Structure 1
Amino acid sequence: MNKKLVSLLLIAVLSLGVLTGCSSKEESKEADTNTEKVTAEAVDTKTVFVTPEWVQSVIDGNQKESEKYIVGEVSWGTYKDSPSYTKGHIPGAIHINTDSVEEGPVWNLVSPEKMEKGILDNGITKDTTVILYGDDISATSRVAFAYLWAGVDNVKVLNGGIKAWEKAGYKTETEVVEAKKAEDFGTKIPAHPEYQLSIEDAKDKLENDDNFKLVSIRSKDEFLGKTSGYSYINKAAEPKGAVWGHAGTDPYNMNDYLNEDGTCINMDQMKELWSDCDFTTDNELSFYCGTGWRACVPWLICYENGMTNMTVFDGGWNEWQMDDSNPVQVGDPASDDCVYTTVGELSNDKAAK
């Protein structure tokens, strides 16, 4: 074969390779352009627990909420303290520290001034749709409750958290996202003080309102006074007159309120859970726990189902046990073995080990 013919064949092969490469790039670019955006059915403003598909549809611009929203992963501490944020979070999600909504030593919600600062620092105003998730449904619910109390109109919780997100096949990222501060929240905080019950009002209602039920969202051992549930609380009991509303097997989970896949139970499931309890949804309910986290879970379920006869007793057992004169019960109030006394008479050896 002469050299001229060989040269012509080489040129032809190379040209075909170039054309094929260009074609592949164009097809790839076209595929990226034609990637289908996720759509999902719209949900009501008061709906709290949402699916991964709905959240992705917001990110993809297919919901009315897409115009102004923030996704936040919730945990205690900075993003560096988070067990998952730097390993992989929802694209664009900021990290939200629970300390921005509560403070010790009681661990009640912070003052309106501090709440406003924390919210604005996270780039949130009253008309921002806030989508929250986290490894701990109690921590996530705590922030969701605080934001609703403050006056954010539309607060969502990704049902099932990051595990549900990843199971649905959606991507995560590890880049730290910094919030862009907002200037004006848009209303006076708290816009909904009626969501929260003070210790003074809790005492008054326990004494004078037969329809009122103070509902302990704590483990059975905490309710019975076997442990305080907390390493920094030495006394164990419950406010006199409290009733049990389930929680989990220990102070660090809410398993009774979660399905096997980690999603929250719905209203019908919660009513079934409460079927052995000394209250119904016809009562005025105030949920409490040790320091406010777990109590917010059933409150949110009630809230999204249109109930209005419920509050969170923010101080919980922690605030109650700070006053030696407060009346308490130790044991099951439905039994003859229940002991009624005062905080000051309790032993100081019931801190969680």
Structure 2
Amino acid sequence: MASTLLSKTLLVNRFIHSFSSPSGNTQIFTSVFCKKLFQFQANSTNVAYNPTRRFSSFMASSVSTHRAQFSSKSFTTDDPVVSPDWLHSNLKQPDLKVLDASWYMPDEQRNPIQEYQVAHIPGALFFDVDGVSDRTSKLPHMLPSEEAFAAVVSALGIDNKDGVVVYDGKGLFSAARVWWMFRVFGHDRIWVLDGGLPKWRTLGYDVESSASGDAILKATAASEAIERIYQGLAVGPITFQTKFQPHLVWDLEKIQENIAGRTHQHIDARSKGRFDGTVPEPRKGIRSGHVPGSKCIPFAQMLDSSQSLLPADQLKKRFEQEGISLDSPVVTSCGTGVTACILALGLHRLGKQDVAVYDGSWSEWGAHSDTPVDTAAS
């Protein structure tokens, strides 16, 4: 078993090295690497090695079993997160699907697909945040078309009747983006795993290494489906029906209108330094500063030390400290539309289920030479 794992690890590293993109085009790299890695897994002996499996199973079985069972029809959507204990109790329910939606900033030098292969929640499928995006846009991981999203989700085997729990490898980060994406396309039976994979493992719950044959086939089908959609080619049967919610997505024009009209409170999830323009943006060619009239609440202030969403009373206090009224509409933004969704998640816990997200966020606004920008000095 150890020699098999070593051989697989060496091949994985070889794949990563051969497909590294000096241009930084992570969308193409991720899509190609995902397909190659899953092809390798499908053609090799699938050995799921986990040295902590016995200990994890013992720890998981020692947790109280008196927990609510899952029903996609009756489970409330009022709270946007579920606990690791709840997920463990309901993991084998047929109408519950789990997605690993890990994504990392380029400077973190972490590969989400490789990490998924090393350890993921049993039965979880990989959701490619960069890959499931608008291929006609130069901006990172922009929202795909309805047809493309429906094709990907259908290929993953998710139906409209299913409940979906999404998590990531940081605790609560990119999973919020995928939560928002499902809601944009009309699927409200979607929740984020509070604390993500780190909290799941801290509690001693089991993880899987490598992926099952079914997971490999679905991931490959999803990758191919979105490629075919944007090439204008036919795809397999679409079993997931979307219902686009335009009020949850804002573009540059809507932000421009809001500067004058102030119909929505605009909250920026980036760090205070980036918001004030005192530190440079991580992406080249993008000005520093913020949209005039917007306020800054860094996304990390929504989370506790375990990267779990703060309780409602603490979230409410944080928004009130920045002068945000829960009685008025809100739009959120960030760098690339990922952490803005964490603010939306926190506001959802407080009962605001109609928070819009500016999809292009600062990567779009700051790149335009004619969009107004404020800084701390202005």
TM range (shorter): 0.7 to 0.9
Which residue of 251, 259, 272 maps to 1:220?
A: 272
Greater strand share, structure number: 1
CA contact (8 A) 2:150 2:241 kept: no
Higher relative contact order (CA 8 A, sep 6+): 2
What TM-score does the superposition give when structure 1 sets the normalisation length?
A: 0.73
**Equivalent position of 2:309 in the other structure:** 264
**Equivalent position of 1:157 in the other structure:** 192
CA contact (8 A) 1:101 1:143 kept: no
Residue 233 of structure 1: CA displacement? 4.3
- Is 1:101 the counterpart of 2:132? The answer is yes
- Paired residue total: 285
Provide closer, same or farther for how the CA distance between residues 152 and 240 of structure 1 changes in structure 2, counting only shifts above 3 A. Answer: same
Contiguous gaps of at least 5 residues in structure 1? 1-31, 61-65, 248-253, 332-337, 340-353
Q: Structure 2 CA distance, aligned partners of 1:143 and 1:153? A: 12
Aligned-residue identity in percent: 23
Q: Structure 2 CA distance, aligned partners of 1:273 and 1:205? A: 23
Which residue of 192, 200, 208 maps to 2:253?
A: 200
Q: Deviations over 1:176-230 (max 9, x none)?
A: 131646843443342x222112221221122013x52111111000110123432
Q: Deviations over 1:222-256 (max 9, x none)?
A: 11012343233432111122111223xxxxxx3x2
Alignment RMSD, CA only?
Answer: 2.6
Q: Structure 2 CA distance, aligned partners of 1:186 and 1:91? A: 23
Which residue of 325, 330, 333 maps to 2:375?
A: 330
Provide closer, same or farther for how the CA distance between residues 73 and 148 of structure 1 changes in structure 2, counting only shifts above 3 A. Answer: same
Q: Deviations over 1:85-112 (max 9, x none)?
A: 2222111111111024334522321222
Residue 309 of structure 1: CA displacement? 4.6
Q: Structure 1 CA distance, aligned partners of 2:322 and 2:162? A: 37
What TM-score does the superposition give when structure 2 sets the normalisation length?
A: 0.68
Q: Structure 2 CA distance, aligned partners of 1:87 and 1:188? A: 32
**Equivalent position of 1:3 in the other structure:** none
**Equivalent position of 2:102 in the other structure:** 75
Greater helix share, structure number: 2
Aligned partner letter, 2:101: V
DSSP 3-state at the match of 2:127: strand
Which residue of 61, 85, 109 maps to 1:53?
A: 85
Provide closer, same or farther for how the CA distance between residues 101 and 223 of structure 1 changes in structure 2, counting only shifts above 3 A. Answer: same
Provide closer, same or farther for how the CA distance between residues 283 and 153 of structure 1 changes in structure 2, counting only shifts above 3 A. Answer: closer
Matches within 5 A, 1:168-183: 168-177=203-212, 178=215, 180=218, 183=237
**Equivalent position of 1:120 in the other structure:** 154
**Equivalent position of 2:3 in the other structure:** none
Q: Structure 2 CA distance, aligned partners of 1:263 and 1:51? A: 9
Residue 283 of structure 1: CA displacement? 2.4
**Equivalent position of 1:6 in the other structure:** none
Provide closer, same or farther for how the CA distance between residues 115 and 125 of structure 1 changes in structure 2, counting only shifts above 3 A. Answer: same
Bigger mean CA deviation after superposition, 135-144 or 118-127: 118-127
Q: Structure 2 CA distance, aligned partners of 1:139 and 1:83? A: 16
